[in-house]
Amino acid sequence: GAVVSQHPSWVICKSGTSVKIECRSLDFQATTMFWYRQFPKQSLMLMATSNEGSKATYEQGVEKDKFLINHASLTLSTLTVTSAHPEDSSFYICSAPPQDRVHEQYFGPGTRLTVT
Amino acid sequence: QKEVEQNSGPLSVPEGAIASLNCTYSDRGSQSFFWYRQYSGKSPELIMFIYSNGDKEDGRFTAQLNKASQYVSLLIRDSQPSDSATYLCAVTPGSSNTGKLIFGQGTTLQVKP
């Protein structure tokens, strides 16, 4: 149980384009999902908390207009990187806790984004 | 002071030895503590969580928590080369009940055959 998937697993896009990443909880419902970014040899940096049916909560320094988050259902959250630039190239990982075990976060496999 | 601190390592141990990974945290209100393992290029995998002071054992892994000292550790017995990875310590902020986690920078473990 507690499986989280992400799609795509990797993506290459051109500078200025937008990329959408999906995060799904496969065998549980999640009212909250989290989006992280990880640069090489660095730890996870929380970008935002995705809340089902309401606006996402962004961490300080994260541009909400650049990283659009939508949590339309209890099993799906999406992160859209708008007008991507090479500095946005990173490993994006989502996580979700089951509703009855809110402090146990299970991570998706991650999406490696390369912006050329 | 960082909220969650770990020695980045690398920590090198011979195969079969006990690996000891340490983590300190600054928020006295933190209630939940987690250890994740992350292989290079992969996402983190939950190994153990601990909520109460003392030890919690699961197979070759033992988590130890001391809230008074704001210290949590992970022991890996009979270390195997496949245990070589980065181990991330994570804690919940005392003020949050949303599941938000604060991660340490991780300790790289190398188990040499």
A107 and B CB contact within 8 Å: yes
- What's the Cα-to-Cα distance from B61 to each of A3, A16, A72, B36, B110, rounded to whole Å? 22, 46, 38, 12, 16
Residue of A nearest to B46 (CA): A106
- Sorting pLDDT into bands at 50, 70 and 90, what band is A100? confident
Task: Specify the range with the lowest mean pLDDT, choosing from A69-73, A80-84, A97-101.
Answer: A97-101
Percent of chain A clearing pLDDT 70 (strictly above): 99
> Looking at beta carbons, which residues of chain B come within 8 Å of A10?
none
> Looking at beta carbons, which residues of chain B come within 8 Å of A93?
43-44
Q: What is the pLDDT of residue A7?
A: 97
Q: What is the pLDDT of residue A61?
A: 94
CB contact under 8 A, A105 and B46: yes
- Mean per-residue pLDDT of chain B: 93
CB contact under 8 A, A105 and B97: no
> Looking at beta carbons, which residues of chain B come within 8 Å of A110?
42-43
pLDDT at residue A42 greater than cutoff 90: no
Angle A34-A36-B36 (CA atoms, 0-180°, nearest 5)? 90
